[in-house]
Amino acid sequence: MILSKRRLAHIVFASNDRASKTFDLVLLWLIFGSIIVAILDSVGHLHDKYGDVFFVLELAFTFLFTLEYILRVWLTSKTWKYVISFYGIVDLLAILPVYLSFFVVNSHLLSVIRALRLLRVIRILKLGRYLVEAEFLSESLKASAAKIQIFLFSVLTLVLIMGTLMFVVEGPENGFTSIPVGMYWAIVTLTTVGFGDITPNTPVGQLLASLIMLMGYAIIAVPTGIVSSEMAKRRNTEDHYKTHRSCTHCGFDNLESGDSFCRKCGEPVNSRG
């Protein structure tokens, strides 16, 4: 049973018949399995016990993902476009660290590469191919991107000034050892995360911290407002297209419920068109 290149390409890239659906399903399970092995291998006492099993499994996964990468590069008509595409880079990053750990002998570099091997969890992004409903969310975020950028810039300005003030007021003896640490603390506080690893101890510092927290409380409303109003608008547009009628004369499909004449051709509209 020898497959033609065209048939193989169909199995790999499409998902509308039994063979291509099976390919997708197998890939899905491979991704999940590979990630679970990576996660379990990072747990100390499991690594001590089953480290060898995990290593063999990881080699197998890497071999299969390499096969997939080669297939995709070979089968696609636009090889270069795939290689530099988002999923092309993800597919490469998912196998590269494992191979690097074989070819590097320097022991210090090796430990860095070993750490990088953990980044094969990036394979989760391969799942993005199977998400189609996510567009609503990403479009809402994209449409709000400009406003969110300005918002983040304002937040960072506040963080810089507040982090510096806290460094001046509290000083290294209370954990604020430098402006970057002060800025880290300001972000922790302004986002209401509040780890508590660094906390103000002087009355003036606590007053300043209270101000930052109340500000954070007030401005947390801003990104929510941006996304909410964006989504509400998007939904209205959707509803608009769902409920509107078409003109029986010219087919214009954007009539509203109160229209007596078609907005496009000027012909009278039937009451229940």
Show contacts with a second copy in window 192-231 (CB under 8 A).
Answer: 192-197, 199, 203, 206-207, 209-210, 213-214, 216-218, 220-231
Between the alpha carbon of residue 233 and those of residues 86, 108, 236, the distances in Å are 30, 55, 5
What does the alpha-carbon distance between residue 19 and residue 141 come to, in Å, rounded to a whole number?
A: 36
DSSP string, 144-192: THHHHHHHHHHHHHHHHHHHHHHHHHH-GGGT--SHHHHHHHHHHHHTT
> Is 53 a binder of a second copy (CB under 8 A)?
no
Question: Residues 28, 75, 147, 249: which binds a second copy (CB under 8 A)?
Answer: 147
With CB under 8 A as the rule, give the number of residues binding a second copy.
Answer: 103
CB atoms within 10 A of CB 256: 10
* Shorter beta-carbon distance to a second copy: residue 85 or 229: 229
Strand segments, DSSP code E, in the chain are none
Question: To which H or E segment does residue 9 belong?
Answer: helix 5-13
Per CB under 8 A, which region of 21-29, 69-77, 86-94, 115-123 contacts a second copy? Answer: 115-123
Answer yes or no whether residue 267 interacts with a second copy by CB under 8 A.
yes
Q: Measured from the CB atom, is 73 or 222 closer to a second copy? A: 222
Query: What's the min distance (Å) between Cβ of 111 and a second copy?
Result: 11
Is the distance from CB of 47 to CB of 54 less than 8 angstroms? yes
Decide: is 160 part of the binding site for a second copy (CB under 8 A). Answer: yes
Decide if residue 233 touches a second copy (CB under 8 A).
yes
| Selected binder of a second copy within 3, 14, 29, 42 (CB under 8 A) | 42
Among 19, 28, 110, 181, binds a second copy (CB under 8 A): 181
